[in-house]
Homo-oligomer: A and B are copies of this chain.
Amino acid sequence: MSSERIVVLAHEKFPDEAKTALGVMRYGDQTIEAVLDRDRAGDRVADHDASLPDAPIVDSFEEALAAAEGGVDALYIGIAPIGGGFDETWRDDVRAAIAAGCDVVSGLHYFLNEDEEFVELAAEHGVELRDVRKPPEDLGVATGHSADVDADVVLTVGTDCSVGKMTASLEIVEAARERGIDAAFVPTGQTGIMIAGWGNPIDRVISDFTAGAVEDLILEKGDEHDLLVVEGQGTIIHPAYSAVTCGILHGSMADGLVLCHAAGREAIHGYESFELPPFSDYVDLYEDLAEPVHETEVVAGAVNTKDVDDDDEAASIVDAFGEEVDVPAADPVRHGADRIVDGIVDGVLEE
């Protein structure tokens, strides 16, 4: 299967506020034909971030199409305004993409499939509108059989939201593959789904089906690989989102957990009156809560040190985390995920 040739919409936000765009560009196997950002048109991606695949930055989808020699297969919406709405200044680009026979992929709360104009245009041009935040309609309750698959299952769990669980999961899969382990990423959120091209947006399913929606993913891929790395969501102590975390913990029936943390975080993001407890409390909570459904343990740690400039300081933060949790730890972006995979091999694959 040849790689999908895509244009990534990131108007006025590239690169720093275009989290979804960066995720797809960094981890997806799509070919990036162009980035749309009207504020940076004329630049190249490499001017802003040399670690990303290079591509031109242009003003509009039509320019992107003109520049792409081999054609374009899809337009990806790579940014999300607060609230997840559709920014009407993007309408011309989406229209042009559909008219050019391209699919449009979106993780917005606003569903392209409920936009009358886009639906009509898409039907006319025979393209697909892929709203990755819209759960499939055939979900049901978990049966409790995730542990029956051939693969070992590892789940990234967090001390908070937005600590880098998706990134850690993707880096673990890459590092494991480099070591010859047949590993696969199991996406549970919109960016992960856009990167991988499959998955269930667990935070949008009916609460009774939370574990079931994860189980579906495990059963779908669990006999095709040796290791599944499930993207976790939220944190088990979140005042608003813990239900999602709990459903993923029990639905995945993980054999091992990777505890993820963002260096410097001391309170729940956006809920600052809720302080983070000691790391060892998280270990006990996740392990004790998982045990009656499927015994598991924290086997590694991933610390996101992107806000720490000094390399030595970052390394010592990671070391301190690893000592406190008593597992191998790394910042998977800064240091690579090799030490994390060590923990997974020792704690899960060779158990």
Contact = CB atoms under 8 A, between A and B. Distances in A.
Interface of A: 141-144, 202-212, 236-247, 249-251, 253, 271, 273-277, 281, 284-285, 288-289, 291-293
Nearest to A273: B144
A241 B285 CA distance: 18
Contacts of A212: 240
7 smallest CB-CB distances across A and B, nearest first, come from A243-B247, A210-B243, A237-B292, A246-B246, A144-B239, A142-B240, A203-B208
A243 B243 contact: yes
A210 B234 CA distance: 13
27 contacts: A141-B241, A142-B239, A143-B240, A144-B239, A144-B274, A204-B206, A205-B207, A206-B206, A207-B209, A207-B210, A207-B244, A208-B243, A238-B293, A239-B293, A242-B246, A242-B249, A242-B293, A243-B243, A243-B247, A275-B292, A277-B291, A277-B292, A281-B288, A281-B292, A285-B288, A285-B289, A289-B289
Given A211-B239, A238-B293, A240-B250, 15 more contacts: A142-B239, A144-B271, A203-B208, A204-B207, A204-B208, A207-B207, A207-B243, A237-B292, A238-B250, A239-B250, A243-B244, A275-B292, A284-B288, A285-B289, A288-B288
Contact of A274 (B236, B245, B285, B292): B292
A243 B243 CA distance: 4
A247 B207 contact: yes
A141 B242 CA distance: 11
Contacts of A277: 291-292
Contacts of A143: 239-240
Contacts of A207: 202-207, 209-210, 243-244, 247
Find the residue from A143, A241, A281 having the highest chain B CB count within 10 A: A241
Find the residue from A142, A202, A271, A273 having the highest chain B CB count within 10 A: A142
Contacts of A281: 288, 292
A211 B281 CA distance: 22
B142 A211 contact: no
Contacts of A271: 144
Contacts of A289: 236-237, 285, 289
Contacts of A284: 288
Contacts of A237: 250, 289, 292-293
A244 to B, nearest CB: 5
Contacts of A245: 246
A242 to B, nearest CB: 5
A35 B274 CA distance: 50
A207 B249 CA distance: 14
A289 B247 CA distance: 14
A110 to B, nearest CB: 15
A143 to B, nearest CB: 7
Contacts of A273: 144
Contacts of A141: 240-241
Contacts of A242: 211, 246-247, 249-250, 293
Find the residue from A241, A243, A246 having the highest chain B CB count within 10 A: A243
A252 to B, nearest CB: 11
